[in-house]
Amino acid sequence: MNWTEDEIKILKEKLDNANCISIKDGEPVKIGFKRSGLGMYSFNVFQKRDTDRSIFNDGCQYILRNHNLALEYGGGAIGQQCFPNK
């Protein structure tokens, strides 16, 4: 993404203030923001228009909110891999 070290520090501070617990570079960028037992909720932020979003709209593990954002629930080691109460 060609960010400077200062820009990364600012981003880390903002993510810490938002209680972000993980971030994974790639397409999409994955931002973990909350744990629930062994599971974790994440945001998937798309950077490119041509990324195939079809797997990010299964209504179970992923919910595509708009062209730039998909919500994700990873259920942990055992049990259902879908959003709870879905």
pLDDT for 86 beyond 60? no
Number of alpha carbons in the 13 Å side-chain half-sphere of residue 41: 10
Residue 82 domain flag: no
**Number of structural domains found in the chain:** 1
Give residue 20's pLDDT band: very low, low, confident or very high (50, 70, 90). Answer: confident
Determine the pLDDT at residue 48. 93
**DSSP reduced 3-state for 60:** coil
Chain segment 55-72, per-residue pLDDT in tens: 999 988 899 999 999 999
Kindly state whether residue 18 falls inside one of the protein's structural domains. yes
12 against 55, higher pLDDT: 55
Residue 55 maps to a domain? yes
Structural domain includes residue 45: yes
In a domain, 49, yes or no: yes
In a domain, 84, yes or no: no
Its domain, for residue 57, covers: 5-74
Identify whether 14 is part of a domain: yes
18-to-31, 68, 79 alpha-carbon distances in Å? 11, 19, 28
